[in-house]
Amino acid sequence: MKRIILLTVLLFIIPGISQAKSSKELIVKEIENINFQSAVKDVCQINKEVCRVLTDKQIYPYLKKHYKKALYSIAFSESSFKYKYGTIDKNDRGYFQINTRTWSPEKIKRMFGIRTTIWSLTHNVKVQTKVALRIWLYNTAIYILSKRKFPRNLAQYACLYHNPNYISKTYERKVKKVVYKVKF
């Protein structure tokens, strides 16, 4: 009887582990293939002040060097590579948990020039990665403009994806578990 229960439990657990591994591989592939310069260009089209920050000779090289690690740690922190739908907020979609109330497909088109749908933000890893990078860049520039200072480290930069108004210590701890361990 114990063997049957154990086998039944394993049948439910193994597909979840397999899904997390395959989604992680998909996310890594898309992060590897994303074009940083195109993302900066897309974000720059909406706001000259944001563009001035992103193309600054101090910030641009740093973001370009570390954006892959930041995206990876954001996806891990947001969904653990498992959840396509928000567990707390039903408007959070995809592995990057893009909030469709804040970042509707219409706003994404207007701000970054990317045509998308809620379905794509939920199920298309390539679209999720493109949008997540642009949101992160935009939020980073907004933070720097409003606070008139740079975050202290990569974990704090990654935290800005979650909220451009402040760096959450809780979110920073989640990001730190990943950001300094990942190799890109």
Separation between Cα atoms, residue 113 and residue 13, nearest integer Å? 40
pLDDT attached to residue 184: 83
pLDDT attached to residue 4: 53
Split at pLDDT 50, 70, 90, the class of 183 is confident
Neighbouring CB atoms inside 10 A of 100's CB total 21
Split at pLDDT 50, 70, 90, the class of 139 is very high
For 16-44, what is the mean pLDDT? Answer: 87
What is the per-residue pLDDT across 85-123, written as a single tens digit (0 to 9) for each? Answer: 999 999 999 999 999 999 999 999 999 999 999 999 999
Separation between Cα atoms, residue 151 and residue 136, nearest integer Å? 13
pTM more than 0.85: yes
Phi, psi (deg, nearest 5) at residue 69: -60, -40
pLDDT attached to residue 113: 96
Query: Mind giving me the DSSP string for 112-162?
Result: H-----HHHHHH-HHHHHHHHHHHHHHHHHHHHHHHSS--SSHHHHHHTTT
Domain ranges across the chain? 2-179
Asked if 86 contacts 92 with a C-beta cutoff of 8 angstroms, the reply is: yes
Q: What's the fold here for domain 2-179?
A: Lysozyme (1.10.530)
For 152-172, what is the mean pLDDT? Answer: 96
Separation between Cα atoms, residue 49 and residue 119, nearest integer Å? 32
